[in-house]
Amino acid sequence: MNTVPYLTFALTKGRLAHQTLELLAEAGITCEEILDKKTRKLIFVNEEQRLRFFLAKGPDVPTYVEYGAADIGVTGRDILLEEGRNVYEVLDLKFGACRMCVCGREDSREKLKHHEMIRVASKYPRIAKEYFYNKKHQTIDIIKLNGSVELGSMVGLSDVIVDIVETGSTLRENGLTVLEEICPLSARMIVNPVSMQIQSDRIKRLIRRLKESLEKEH
Ligand code: PRP
């Protein structure tokens, strides 16, 4: 019987998972099962390398990692900032690069210059509050939305929005613009603090290999 413990990865469903698997493959970490598009399985195993992988919604990834249900996770920095989980952020994977911004109609720019109370719609209330309260010292009324946040500014729900901007085309096509940049974002690798001690050698070796692959690319 193999007594080597599994190293469990929680990946973010969708494009981020594909990019993560590509990078892991460069570092010699593979999982045949997960590449099968037809499968309905939720957990994928590489017995030989004693690895397990599962796919989760982005905001759930740091939850799995904090509780130790996964040793390692990959998700966006936006999610890590918003969720504020107790995990180690060990690597910037560089892909999924975009920006967290305050956006709105050009005529809303004035409202960011004074300390007047404004309405801000966002999927990221924690990031929005942190920025406005601690950096700008401006009081806001935050309205939580779950998607298509741009609508908030367009239909008069809010004065501005706080949202992710990647290419900027959603803003452009809807008559909105970036008013202020909050921070850059990209995919990050996170590790459970206890796993980092217990499986220290294995995890550090993995981080080293991934770093080498990333350096080759950039
Ligand atoms: C994200 C984000 C913006 C858009 C930005 O939304 O919230 O709406 O992408 O990308 P762009 O700058 O390249 O246009 P997503 O597509 O994830 O869906 P959502 O609006 O439902 O959150």
The greatest distance separating any two alpha carbons of the chain, rounded to the nearest whole angstrom, comes to 68
Half-sphere exposure of residue 88, counting CA atoms within 13 Å on the CB side?
Answer: 16
Residue pair 99/81 in contact (Cβ under 8 Å)? The answer is no
Q: Quote the pLDDT of residue 30.
A: 87
Residue nearest to atom 21 of ligand 1 (CA): 147
Q: Which residue has the higher pLDDT, 100 or 34?
A: 100
Kindly state whether residue 1 falls inside one of the protein's structural domains: no
Tell which atom from ligand 1 comes closest to the C-alpha of 98: 12
Does residue 31 have a pLDDT over 90? Answer: no
Is the CB–ligand 1 distance for residue 146 below 6 Å?
no
Q: First-to-last CA distance in the chain?
A: 42
Tell me the Cα Rg of the chain.
Answer: 20
| 32 and 72 housed in the same domain | yes
Q: Label residue 136 by pLDDT band (50, 70, 90).
A: very high
What mean pLDDT do residues 113-117 have? 92
**Scanning the structure block, which residue is given the tokens 């070796």?**
205
Residue nearest to atom 19 of ligand 1 (CA): 147
Domain count, the chain: 2
d(CA 165, ligand 1 centre) in Å? 7
Is the CB–ligand 1 distance for residue 121 below 6 Å?
no
Q: Give ∠ CA 98-56-201 in degrees, rounded to 5.
A: 85
Is the CB–ligand 1 distance for residue 172 below 6 Å?
no
User: Residue 182: which of 75, 78, 85 has the closest Cα?
Assistant: 78
| 87 and 190 housed in the same domain | yes
Tell which atom from ligand 1 comes closest to the C-alpha of 172: 14
| 207 and 142 housed in the same domain | no
Kindly state whether residue 2 falls inside one of the protein's structural domains: no
Q: Label residue 171 by pLDDT band (50, 70, 90).
A: very high
Say which CATH number the domain at 35 has. Answer: 3.40.190.10
**DSSP, res 54:** E
Does residue 38 have a pLDDT over 90? Answer: no
Sequence-ordered strand ranges (E) for 42-117 = 43-46, 51-56, 72-76, 88-92, 98-104
**Span 190-216, pLDDT tens digits:** 999 999 999 999 999 999 999 999 998
| 82 and 107 housed in the same domain | no
Is the CB–ligand 1 distance for residue 100 below 6 Å?
no
Pocket test for ligand 1, best of 98, 99, 165 (most atoms within 8 A of CB): 165
Q: Quote the pLDDT of residue 143.
A: 98
Distance, in Å, from the CA atom of 119 to the CA atom of 162, rounded to the nearest integer, reads 11
Domain that includes residue 109, residue range: 98-183
What mean pLDDT do residues 107-132 have? 96
d(CA 65, ligand 1 centre) in Å? 25
Q: Quote the pLDDT of residue 218.
A: 65
Whether this model's pTM surpasses 0.85:
yes
| 149 and 205 housed in the same domain | no
d(CA 47, ligand 1 centre) in Å? 37
Q: Which two tokens stand for residue 3?
A: 């007594």
Q: Quote the pLDDT of residue 196.
A: 97
**Span 39-89, pLDDT tens digits:** 888 999 999 999 999 999 999 999 999 999 999 999 999 999 999 999 999
Residue 150 main-chain phi, psi, to 5 deg? -50, -35
DSSP 171-216: HHHTT-EEEEEEEEE-EEEEE-HHHHHHTHHHHHHHHHHHHHHHHH
Q: Label residue 35 by pLDDT band (50, 70, 90).
A: confident
